Amino acid sequence: MNAPATPKYAAYICSGCGIGDVLDIAALEKVAKNEGKMALVKTHDFLCSAAGVEMIKQDIANEGVTHLCIAACSRRAKTEAFYFPSVAVSRANLREGVIWVVAEGAEHDEVRQEMAEDYVRMSCAEIKKMTAPAGNIKEASSKKILVVGGGMSGMTAALAAADAGYEVVLVEKTGALGGFANQLYKRVPFNSPYAEPQEVGAGETAAKVHSHPKIKVYLNATVAETAGAPGRFAVKIATESGSISEERCGAIVQATGFTTYPLEKLPELGGGQPNVVDQAGLEALAKAANGGPIKRADGKEVKSVVFVQCAGQRGSGGNGSGQHLEYCSGHCCATSIKQAMYFKDQNPDIDTVIMYSDLRVPGMGEDFYRSAQKKGVIFTKAKVTGVKGGDRCEVQFKDLILDEETATDADLVVLATGQVPNAGVNLDEWTATVTAAESGDEAAKEKKAALQKLSVLNLQYRQGPDMPQFKYGFADSHFICFPYETRRTGIYAAGPVRRPMDMFQATEDATGAAMKAIQAVENVEKGRAVHPRAWDLSYPKARLEGCTQCKRCTVECPFGAIDEDEKRFPVFNEERCRRCGTCMGACPVRVISFENYSCDTVGMQIKAVNIPDEFEEKPRILILACENDAYPALDMAGVQRMTYSAYVRAIPVRCLGSVNTIWITDALNSGYDGVMMMGCKKGEDYQCHFVKGSEMAYYRMSKIDDTLKQLGLEPERVQTQEVAITDNARVVKLINDYVAQLNEMGPSPMKGFG
């Protein structure tokens, strides 16, 4: 895979798909040869055909070509045909990027040809700064999978991974496998006809785990330390006896589940008063009754029961003071239906009332709901205003259908409280505490020690001991696109620690997380990025002699991939890296680069564009487009034959987070009239593949307005836009509006000084 000592550059121009009909191919060849300095320039009328590909292969084998510039379709098309892993490849997008998006007709011939020639120049400039990535294979990597938590999610993940042939280490804090499922009398049905509560089956699953030859179980154990990176996690497991075992693991599934919201925090709903229990409390009573009459703590048989849904959940939309959990825990409606059936199945004369504000029974839960109605469970849409415990419990509520304040009494009241994730340390709190402790604050030092004790994984990462948390303290996940992925590569959250869910969803979740863990260990072994750039062999390299120890890369890496050594130089953990390039964008001295993507590969493209002088009235606009969403949207605009201005030059970037401000400076200094960045949606409902990349770009760009003003440039000359992959019509409008806006502003005053 290593490139030969003497590089040889070759350009291949495709004249197929109509490229040769509207472009002057001979002129493009001339550009590649004379300006691009390509040693070999060839044209083919069907380059992606077997014959065309064979021609390139022959040149690689016989002519010693090491660097290819392919001027044909978008880099997103024909990736299999143009797959030459032994050499560096750059692509000039003449089809989707030029002939399909520039308006038809002879009057556009000139600008169209200019655009195509620029893309050839850019591609030739880029390739000179690229080398074929060799991959990151350092040492024998471990394919063992560590599962933290032995509940239903953890056991399912362990079995899924072990059945797929991977060694598994399962660490469980308590003395038995099963977790919360052990507390249940029965579970909500998970197969047809979804009408009756089903056996839990946690014992059978635990037995399977214990007897599986590929699973090693640690009971009464916690993770004392996790160091390293995917493929080489060094995990210290502390058992109750005080002994420490060490395991080398490739990936981690965190299935640490949830705890129930404390009943005593709900005094307004009778929490803590006699005969007011939560759902877990009722499971205990039902388990003790074991099919017989369910009795209260005082031994009295329950003849009437009221279930209060959303107790301390869903903010002011639920029941309780509204000062509790903001979210819906998702499982409680079906759980209360199941628990009402415990009573009705034993004795149909028992009064069972479920007070709900919105009954949420997703999936086949609707059949379960109907089954409960058939059994005579009364469902009342109500807002419960107060519960008094006692021998006769009193429930005060507003009937939302009959629109009246009323009350009823019952032997027992069950509060459907929510799930609170066991996600470990909140990293924002951690970072603030560590910063305070470093400045000598004694209280902060104590708090840091206390926080450390809460940690689940005890990661030896610069960015903190656990994975970042998403909303409401749930463990991180890429909610929209990649549910199991967290911002800690090779560590996957599964089950209710990730989002509130029921047991069936948790087991499905666990299977998915196990799959991701397998993907991680396999890709790491091959020296590739884990995901989402699962094919990517490149990885960041830093010229540390130029580093100023500013720590921006270590702080801004969305994935905590970069640690610091004693001298505060960055230490790259390539296996943790997702190859987004956010570190590269952050670096003020530009010492971080990838073999095929660097400040130079993009910078040289920017400089390669021919900038007409101000009298020609041909503005040049640079587009830096995120290759995950915005660039495909631009391609799709081409596929649909929408037209946008031929004055733009688009360069795909791995993520907007990788945009280094030097590119903007270079572009404006070279006389571009404007720069438009297109990245994914940021913020709480982000769609960035690298979570924080686009947010980082916006933050950085918000700081350059002053610099622009100092240069005598209008701030509007640099724009940042949020673009989704489906925005193909919108990108066209954005571009055309921007070109019109820039025309009004007039040419950049920097023209001619570049």
Partner 1 sequence: MTTANEKAIAKYKNDFLREVEANVEDGHWVKMCMQCGVCAGSCPLGPHWEHSPQKIFMMIRAGKREEVLKSDSMWMCTSCYNCIVRCPRKLPITHIMHGLANYAHRLGLAPQGQPTREIAKLFWDNLIKTGRVNELKFSLAMYFKDGFSQGIKNAMAMQSIGLGLMKAKRLNPLELFGGHACKDKSGIQKMIAKAREIEDRRRGLA
**Interface ranges with partner 1 (CB under 8 A):** 304, 306, 349, 351, 353, 359, 369-370, 373-374, 376, 378-381, 399, 401-402, 406-408
CB distance 23 to 80 below 8 Å: no
Q: Taking the complex as a whole, how short is the minimal distance between the CB of residue 402 and partner 1, in angstroms?
A: 6
> Nearer Cβ to partner 1, position 80 or 404?
404
| φ and ψ at residue 388, rounded to 5 degrees | -115, 125
Name the percent of the chain in helix, strand, coil, to the closest 5.
Answer: 35, 20, 45
Distance between CA atoms of residues 665 and 672, nearest Å: 10
Task: Pinpoint the alpha helices (H) of 347-441.
Answer: 365-374, 427-438
> Nearer Cβ to partner 1, position 298 or 404?
404
Pick left, alpha or beta for residue 576 (phi over 0 → left; psi -120 to 50 → alpha; otherwise beta): alpha
For 85, the token pair is 């892993």
> Nearer Cβ to partner 1, position 305 or 653?
305
Instruction: Enumerate residues 6+ apart whose C-beta is below 8 A from 84.
Output: 56, 57, 60, 68
Q: Taking the complex as a whole, how short is the minimal distance between the CB of residue 381 and partner 1, in angstroms?
A: 5
Cis omega (within 30 of 0) for bond into 230 = no
> Nearer Cβ to partner 1, position 350 or 561?
350
Q: Taking the complex as a whole, how short is the minimal distance between the CB of residue 291 and partner 1, in angstroms?
A: 22
Q: Taking the complex as a whole, how short is the minimal distance between the CB of residue 335 and partner 1, in angstroms?
A: 18
Q: Taking the complex as a whole, how short is the minimal distance between the CB of residue 409 and partner 1, in angstroms?
A: 8
How does DSSP classify residue 300? Answer: P
Q: Taking the complex as a whole, how short is the minimal distance between the CB of residue 443 and partner 1, in angstroms?
A: 52
Q: Which value, in Å, is the radius of gyration of the alpha carbons in the chain? A: 31
> Nearer Cβ to partner 1, position 415 or 520?
415
668: nearest Cα among 636, 713, 704, 703: 713
Q: Crossing angle for the helix pair 599-608 and 109-128, nearest 10 degrees?
A: 150
Handedness of CA 327, 328, 330, 335 (dihedral sign): positive
b (16+ CB within 10 A) / e for 107-142? eeeebbbbbbbbbbbbbbbbbbbbbbbebbeeeebb
Q: 3-class secondary structure for 214-244?
A: CEEEECCEEEEEEECCCCCEEEEEEECCCCE
> Nearer Cβ to partner 1, position 10 or 353?
353
Q: Taking the complex as a whole, how short is the minimal distance between the CB of residue 376 and partner 1, in angstroms?
A: 6
In single-letter form, the type of residue at position 601 comes to: T
Q: Taking the complex as a whole, how short is the minimal distance between the CB of residue 346 and partner 1, in angstroms?
A: 15
Q: Taking the complex as a whole, how short is the minimal distance between the CB of residue 471 and partner 1, in angstroms?
A: 30
How does DSSP classify residue 299? Answer: S
Q: Taking the complex as a whole, how short is the minimal distance between the CB of residue 365 and partner 1, in angstroms?
A: 12
CB distance 518 to 651 below 8 Å: no
Q: Taking the complex as a whole, how short is the minimal distance between the CB of residue 195 and partner 1, in angstroms?
A: 14
Q: Taking the complex as a whole, how short is the minimal distance between the CB of residue 393 and partner 1, in angstroms?
A: 13
How does DSSP classify residue 103? Answer: P
Q: Taking the complex as a whole, how short is the minimal distance between the CB of residue 321 and partner 1, in angstroms?
A: 24
> Nearer Cβ to partner 1, position 89 or 276?
276
Handedness of CA 650, 654, 660, 661 (dihedral sign): positive
Q: How many CA atoms lie within 13 A of 33 on its CB side?
A: 11
Q: 3-class secondary structure for 682-731?
A: CCCCCCCCCCCHHHHHHHHHHCCHHHHHHCCCCHHHEEEEECCCCCHHHH
Q: Using alpha carbons only, give the angle 365, 367, 373 rounded to the nearest 5 degrees.
A: 105
Q: Taking the complex as a whole, how short is the minimal distance between the CB of residue 351 and partner 1, in angstroms?
A: 5
> Nearer Cβ to partner 1, position 160 or 377?
377
How far is residue 150 CA from its own chain's centroid? 25
| φ and ψ at residue 535, rounded to 5 degrees | -95, -10
> Nearer Cβ to partner 1, position 306 or 387?
306
Instruction: Enumerate residues 6+ apart whose C-beta is below 8 A from 704.
Output: 661, 664, 718
In single-letter form, the type of residue at position 529 comes to: A
> Nearer Cβ to partner 1, position 373 or 726?
373
List C-alpha distances in Å: 345 to 197, 284, 285, 332, 600.
10, 17, 15, 19, 73
> Nearer Cβ to partner 1, position 110 or 366?
366
> Nearer Cβ to partner 1, position 156 or 371?
371
Distance between CA atoms of residues 621 and 612, nearest Å: 12
Distance between CA atoms of residues 198 and 229, nearest Å: 41
> Nearer Cβ to partner 1, position 311 or 510?
311
Q: Taking the complex as a whole, how short is the minimal distance between the CB of residue 355 and partner 1, in angstroms?
A: 9
Q: Taking the complex as a whole, how short is the minimal distance between the CB of residue 237 and partner 1, in angstroms?
A: 50
145: nearest Cα among 429, 515, 667, 415: 515
> Nearer Cβ to partner 1, position 303 or 526?
303
SS3 746: coil
> Nearer Cβ to partner 1, position 51 or 402?
402
> Nearer Cβ to partner 1, position 123 or 309?
309
Q: Taking the complex as a whole, how short is the minimal distance between the CB of residue 383 and partner 1, in angstroms?
A: 14
- Calculated CA dihedral for residues 708, 709, 713, 718, nearest 10 degrees: 40
> Nearer Cβ to partner 1, position 357 or 643?
357
